[in-house]
């Protein structure tokens, strides 16, 4: 990987700069506590972490997952979860209820179950302020005009624990195919169209196995799989928060069957419906030296 030190902007033929400034990942997931409201934070979804949809720009699903991971840790530090030695999400299920419009938003958390070994926390990405509705009916049949409601766009359930805790059963799972060498077996995947049309995609430098009819898949792993190495384009090391983004910028498998590759996204609408994560270890705990690649 002689070009692994080059950012996507330098390594991608036909690269096009965005007509507006890019926002760093850390700035994009920045959270500010809402005064007087426990477990609620203000955030701003930047334009370059969004995708175009029929009704305008909507925030990228992987970015929203990263925002929720970051927020769950903020929430743990602000509540009794740290005292219970549960500072990290060890699992997370995210359900995307509606597209999240680009711009200001709120992220809020509630502890559903507190336990000595693990706790369950609910996270929500919602509208930043109350939205008036014309009529709200109650179970008793009464109604109220312009009653304030908060619109929930994304719902998440977390199991909180400690990723540094190494107790419990550990199983070594056998691989059915050998792990491809990123230096010998892989080549860099670049796509100027994808990087411009979907700016979050450019957050990683991607390497895929050589020898296939398309960079998206190779005969070694089959057309129904994805095998790739990723490195943050910023040059930073992966953190737990990055894994939300990484999980949702991997190209969807149906594109393996489209001759146009990533350009097929112009024909299909493939929004994320749900994502489920099991976190085994914080990537920062695994790093040694200056390695920043993760598979």
CA atoms of 135 and 147, how far apart (whole Å): 7
pLDDT of residue 221: 79
3-state secondary structure of 88: strand
CA atoms of 25 and 85, how far apart (whole Å): 27
From first to last of the 295 residues of the chain, give the pLDDT tens digit.
678 899 999 999 999 999 999 999 999 999 999 999 999 999 999 999 998 877 788 999 999 999 999 999 999 999 989 999 999 999 999 999 999 999 999 999 999 999 999 999 999 999 986 544 443 433 444 444 555 578 999 999 999 999 998 676 777 777 777 788 888 889 999 999 889 989 999 999 999 888 888 888 888 778 888 888 999 999 999 999 999 999 999 888 888 888 777 777 767 767 789 999 999 889 988 554 433 333 3
Residue 227 Cα to chain centre, angstroms: 18
pLDDT of residue 226: 82
pLDDT of residue 141: 45
pLDDT digits (tens, 9 = 90+) for 190-229: 999 889 989 999 999 999 888 888 888 888 778 888 888 9
Closest CA to 217 of 261, 174, 184, 248: 261
Supply the CATH classification number for the domain 8-137+145-163+178-294. 2.40.160.210
CA atoms of 55 and 104, how far apart (whole Å): 17
CA atoms of 91 and 58, how far apart (whole Å): 25
> Is residue 15 exposed (0-12), middle (13-18) or buried (19+ Cβ within 10 Å)?
middle
pLDDT of residue 199: 95
Query: CA dist 197 to 8, 131, 233, 237, 266, Å?
Result: 14, 31, 17, 25, 9
> Is residue 191 exposed (0-12), middle (13-18) or buried (19+ Cβ within 10 Å)?
buried
202 φ, ψ (degrees, to nearest 5): -75, 0
């Amino acid at each position: 990987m002689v070009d692994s030190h080059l950012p996507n902007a330098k390594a991608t033929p036909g690269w096009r700069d965005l007509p507006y400034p890019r926002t760093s990942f850390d700035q994009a997931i920045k959270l500010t506590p809402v005064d007087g409201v426990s477990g609620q934070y203000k955030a701003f979804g930047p334009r370059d972490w969004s995708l175009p949809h029929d009704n305008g720009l909507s925030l990228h699903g992987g970015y929203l997952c990263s925002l929720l991971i970051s927020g769950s840790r903020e929430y743990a530090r602000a509540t009794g979860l740290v005292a219970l030695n549960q500072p990290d999400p060890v699992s997370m299920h995210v359900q995307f209820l509606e597209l999240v419009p680009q711009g200001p938003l709120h992220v809020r958390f509630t502890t559903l179950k507190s336990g000595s070994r693990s706790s369950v926390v609910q996270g929500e990405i919602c509208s930043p302020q109350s939205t008036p509705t014309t009529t709200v009916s109650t179970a008793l049949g009464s109604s109220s005009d312009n009653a304030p409601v908060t619109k929930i766009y994304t719902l998440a359930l977390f199991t909180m624990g400690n990723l540094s805790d190494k107790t419990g059963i550990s199983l070594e799972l056998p691989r059915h195919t050998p792990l491809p060498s990123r230096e010998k077996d892989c080549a860099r995947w670049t796509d100027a169209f994808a990087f411009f049309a979907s700016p979050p995609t450019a957050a990683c430098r991607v390497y895929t196995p050589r020898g296939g009819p398309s960079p998206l898949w190779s005969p070694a792993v089959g057309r129904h799989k994805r095998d790739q190495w990723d490195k943050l384009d910023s040059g930073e090391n992966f953190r737990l928060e990055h894994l939300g983004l990484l999980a949702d910028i991997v190209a969807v498998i149906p594109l393996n069957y489209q001759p146009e590759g990533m350009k097929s996204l112009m024909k299909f609408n493939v929004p994320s419906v749900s994502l489920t994560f099991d976190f085994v270890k914080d990537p920062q705990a695994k790093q040694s030296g200056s390695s920043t690649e993760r598979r």
